[in-house]
Amino acid sequence: MPELPKKYKKDFPYSYALGPFPTFELLRRRPEQAQAVYYREDFHDREKLLALCAQLGVPCQCSQKALERISQKEVCYAAGTFLKYPGQLDPAAPHAALVQPGDMGNLGTIQRTLLGFGVKNLALIGGGADRWNPKTIRASMGAAFQVEVEEFPDFPAYLAAYGAGREIFPFMLDGGTVLTPDNVPQAARYTLVFGNEAAGLPPEYQRYGQSLFIAQSPEVDSLNLAVAVAVGTYLFTQRDAAPSGGHTRVGARGDVLA
């Protein structure tokens, strides 16, 4: 009988994609990293899963005991074991950078959000939440297998690798410019930088580029990190996508309205 997988630890060379959708994304996006797949007997898409694993040559086993061990208290119908792999950012593409993110759920959600807006490069600065933790992978809903993630000990190390010809936009509560849809900076290559959930960005990030602030009501002290990333990334990517003559609105039947 094959050895049951172990509860995840950060120093393992492998991790788990928990849940059917992240497991299918692992197999579709990073099949060369997939090591094994487990499923419950009552998983309704097991035939599709078995067929894909057979096509890719990935071992696939019905084992509720294995799923209970790696998912802990959550009910999990399918999961995949995969080897961790290095990421490398595209120097010509837009980047997002997170400085010591502390929450794995936020980190996963941010990867899913970035991918949704077409930003596929994420720098992690100074440690923080484990990008490989199954909670992070699950929160990303498999987006972690499409977003390139590269880790750096500090921001100068990131700039040494990718800073040439790139404009830096730190998002700070004391940011110099209130970001609106009408004043999104024009930059061919840029990095949007966001700080830790509790502390934000340290004051020295002001010197790295044009600091930005997302306006909010005085009833809250700050936006959730994942929300701030979503707002900032949406505004920058919509600027890139908008034609020079403005936005085209399309009706429910596909009719061009303006």
Could you tell me the domains of the chain? 14-83 (3.30.1330.30), 95-241 (3.40.1280.10)
CA distance 117 to 104: 20
The yes-or-no verdict on residue 176 having pLDDT over 90 is no
Q: Which residues pair with 95 in a beta bridge?
A: 191
The phi and psi torsions of 53 (rounded to 5 degrees) equal -65, -40
CB 142 within 8 A of CB 22: yes
Q: Which of 69, 63, 101, 61 is nearest to 226 (CA)?
A: 101
| Interval 163-170 mean pLDDT | 96
At 200-252, the pLDDT tens digits run: 899 999 999 999 999 888 887 778 999 999 999 999 998 766 444 444 343 43
- Of residues 40 and 75, more confidently modeled: 40
At 230-243, the pLDDT tens digits run: 999 999 998 766 44
Q: Is 126 left (phi over 0), alpha (psi -120 to 50) or beta?
A: left
Q: What is the pTM of this model?
A: 0.88
CA distance 39 to 62: 5
